Structure 1
Amino acid sequence: MGVSAGVVTRLANVGELEFDICGARKVFRQEAVDAYLRRNNLVRAPEDQALRGGLKYDICALSFFSGAGGLDLGMERAGIPATLYCENNRECRMTLHQNRPDVALLGDITQIDADSVRRMACISPNSEIDVIFGGPPCQAFSTAGARRAFEDPRGNVFLKYLDLAAELNPRYLIIENVRGLLSTSFPTRPGGKPVRGGAMRYILNRLNEMDYGVSFNLYNAANFGSAQIRERVVIIAKRDGTKCDWLIPTHADSKEKVAENWRLPYWMTFRDVVHDIEDLPQTYTNFPQKRLRYFNMLKEGQCWNKLPLDVQEEAMGKAFRLGGGKTGFYRRIAWDRPSPTLVTSPTMPATDLCHPDALRPLSVEEYKRVQGFPDDWWIAGGVHDQYRQIGNAVPVSLGEAIGRAILDDMNGRSHDKRWRDFPYSRYSRTSDLTWDLA
């Protein structure tokens, strides 16, 4: 089951897990455990395993912080499938193993070393590792959190990732993270005062010590075919000391003629990716009953500030008098624009993701479409677990764009320099060419 004895006891006590009594002990039959797993959309918790079946690819790639597999699927579609996943979360491990049962699987990154990675991925000591990719937990750098950077335990696994990469010495190292990484304060030297951007500077200094050439930018996933406004920093480090080109966009915003000017298709919209599943059964949680009254007053693309003036403070409560735009409150998404960034729960008051028409949040099925997961990509756990895994994932199309950039660089294909002027995000000074000027 992948849980502690204490959790098993609690499940038994509340009637979730059937048992028999044998003397003073509870006895759990295998069929009762299997029934519990089926009811909760779970499978047997996979143990760490080595690569199976002699699986071999032309490019040797390893995935860390694999989550539900969004970045992995994108890289795979580009032509860089992973031979090893490293993931510690129980439901994510079930998801990965169920969908790719032959790929090597490891758990807690803090408990592994380069030798164990090579052994489990069936990579001989003298064999080249081409690509390592992953998105270390972003909460330590998120603008929505305390931003404690590497003082946060989740930030520490970021440093473990860099240490492990230094041991494995791949040709390419990819780091995906939130926009807040660019501005999170952290001391740039031992005993020094935290400085704005210090966390990013620490990472860049570490990569420089490893003699890697580094390029990075802040990318909006909508520019790469995702039906979602989701901005993420992508760092590509090269062992030979040169820089990899930025990702090439495949789509652009229709506003201010961006798409026309760059001769690209318009951004994918929510309607584009879900229109053919809207009449099918949907899986979702419910908004609290008292909030439905306010959602019922709003049209697609609107939020709390479009409620009648005499209702706004009643609906918002204490949040009404807080600063900021607060556009996540009572937010109905628009049919014909990309979705806002998917979050780990679409029913949180400050980050509502309500369906354009229906009185419900976006469904699990819609979440998968927005993130680019195939419909048959099984996600473990209950509805909340599924939302969390999908919401935390890298959009598949962004992962594919990263993979294409790596392959282009491997094959000596240099990108048109005009893309340096493309509006990759709504922010300025977010790339390796401009960030130091911020």
Structure 2
Amino acid sequence: MDSAGNSSCPLFISLPLLADILQVSKRTAELWAEKGKYAPVAGTDGAILFPTCTLVSIPEIREMMGEGWEEEMGTLPVREYTSVELFSGAGGLALGLEKAGFTHALLNEVDEMARRTLQLNRPHWPVKAGDVHGLDFRHLRGKVDLLAGGFPCQPFSYAGKQGGFGDTRGTLFFELARAVAEIRPRALLAENVRGLAAHDAGRTLATIRSEIDKLGYTLVEPRVLQALLYRVPQKRERLILIAIRNDLAPRAQFHWPTPYHRALTMRDALYAGELYPTDAPASPGVGYNARKAAVLAQVPMGGYWRDLPVAVQQEYLGTSYSRPGGKTGMARRLSLDEPSLTLVCAPAQKQTERCHPTETRPLTVREYARVQTFPDEWQFCGSLASQYKQVGNAVPVNLAWAVGRAIVRLLNGLE
């Protein structure tokens, strides 16, 4: 048991995990260790460990060492709460909200394969096909507690061109706003990539704030949540926006979810443990061609292209070799002892490779799904490419569950 009295909190946190939790580089954490900050010790394998009792001054660690997670896991709706979700994808957000206690009154998804995935796994969910622009929500007015949606993030992603509202997909936020105006739910949950917060020098988020205000809703100060703090074995960040209808806002109390006791890793995703009762089941997956396999075979667990011989680096990276930037996704092998890098829509693309920790191959679809904390029984429809895309675009289920519980507590308070 650690000094906080919480037997489920680890006695030590490894250097890489501490760096991930605090969002600093491993080199920064190494400098802390070299200077003796937080009283580091050497593990049996020589790895640097930080005792949790020396980290209590750090807010994130202090929260992890408390009892908040257990208390919040006991959250139950005091009555049936209904939700509507737009841009549902393969169901990561919808499944998390269901686990939190919401009953879906309507879900909308334009992609046929993602829609089939929803219908296969939850035949009772009222999934509406078609483009959101053609939907009329007025029949749901006054009947919905929560409107949720992760409006398409490509216009705001650091990995994209960042077109924002100049991109046609960016205007889908205004369809979410139209649904709010027609339904008048008690609360709104919107999520997007962290890049939205800084996009166009903050003007994009300012526009969203203004629209939410015009709708008659009070926006909770937005927050970027790290999925790895909420029982998700992945370094994934999502900007979460919560808004409450103005007539309810004066007596509403919203509290962000408390982090889990530790950061989960790829070991938790792939093998039996506290996250899954069995090892990851076999499933289809893409492979590497012979040349790529020969290169990735030389990369150690947790390593990337800089761990290759210089001649192999130059040959594999080609013209990218001399360009600036870390290129940290190239020839990247994941580590069993760290969370996965953020999953992308294809695990074998050269710029964003996600090689299995101990085998020279990309992660399979099932392994991808486990990193996103989908249950093993959740199946995906369509081609392999479509399945990877559905999983890669999803909101991690456990992150959605944690946020959903927070919203249930908000609604319970209003009751």
- TM bin, normalised by shorter chain, reads 0.7 to 0.9
User: Which letter maps to 1:105?
Assistant: V
* Residue 266 (1) aligns with residue 280 (2): no
Deviation at 1:249, TM superposition (A): 2.9
Residue equivalent to 1:233: 239
Gaps of 5+ in 1: 1-56, 186-195, 252-264, 414-438
* Residue 250 (1) aligns with residue 251 (2): no
Deviation at 1:244, TM superposition (A): 5.1
C-alpha deviations, 1:181-209, integer Å up to 9, x for none? 11111xxxxxxxxxx11110000011111
Deviation at 1:387, TM superposition (A): 0.4
Q: Secondary structure at the match of 1:81?
A: strand
User: Which letter maps to 2:263?
Assistant: W
Q: How do residues 107-126 of structure 1 correspond to structure 2 at under 5 angstroms?
A: 107-115=130-138, 118=139, 123=140
User: Which letter maps to 1:317?
Assistant: G
Answer yes or no: is the 8 Å Cα contact 1:133–1:175 preserved in 2: yes
Residue equivalent to 1:392: 393
Q: How do residues 292-371 of structure 1 correspond to structure 2 at under 5 angstroms?
A: 292-371=293-372
* Residue 93 (1) aligns with residue 115 (2): yes
* Residue 130 (1) aligns with residue 130 (2): no
Q: Secondary structure at the match of 1:235?
A: strand
1:278–1:320 CA distance, 2 compared to 1 (3 A): farther
**Distance in structure 2 (CA, Å) of the matches to 1:353 and 1:145:** 19
What root-mean-square deviation, in Å, do the aligned CA atoms of Structure 1 and Structure 2 show?
1.7
> TM-score with structure 1 length normalisation?
0.72
Q: Secondary structure at the match of 1:60?
A: strand
1:314–1:278 CA distance, 2 compared to 1 (3 A): farther
Within the candidate set 203, 224, 227, 1:221 is matched to 227
Deviation at 1:280, TM superposition (A): 4.4
Larger Rg: 1
1:393–1:323 CA distance, 2 compared to 1 (3 A): same
Within the candidate set 200, 208, 213, 2:213 is matched to 208
Answer yes or no: is the 8 Å Cα contact 1:138–1:177 preserved in 2: yes
Gaps of 5+ in 2: 1-78, 273-277
Answer yes or no: is the 8 Å Cα contact 2:253–2:413 preserved in 1: no
Residue equivalent to 1:145: 160
> TM-score with structure 2 length normalisation?
0.76
User: Which letter maps to 1:299?
Assistant: P
Number of aligned residue pairs: give it. Answer: 326
Q: Secondary structure at the match of 1:177?
A: strand
Of all paired residues, the percent bearing the same amino acid is: 37
**Distance in structure 2 (CA, Å) of the matches to 1:387 and 1:178:** 18
User: Which letter maps to 1:268?
Assistant: L
Q: Secondary structure at the match of 2:159?
A: coil
Deviation at 1:166, TM superposition (A): 1.6
User: Which letter maps to 1:139?
Assistant: Q
Answer yes or no: is the 8 Å Cα contact 1:237–1:244 preserved in 2: no
**Distance in structure 2 (CA, Å) of the matches to 1:407 and 1:137:** 25
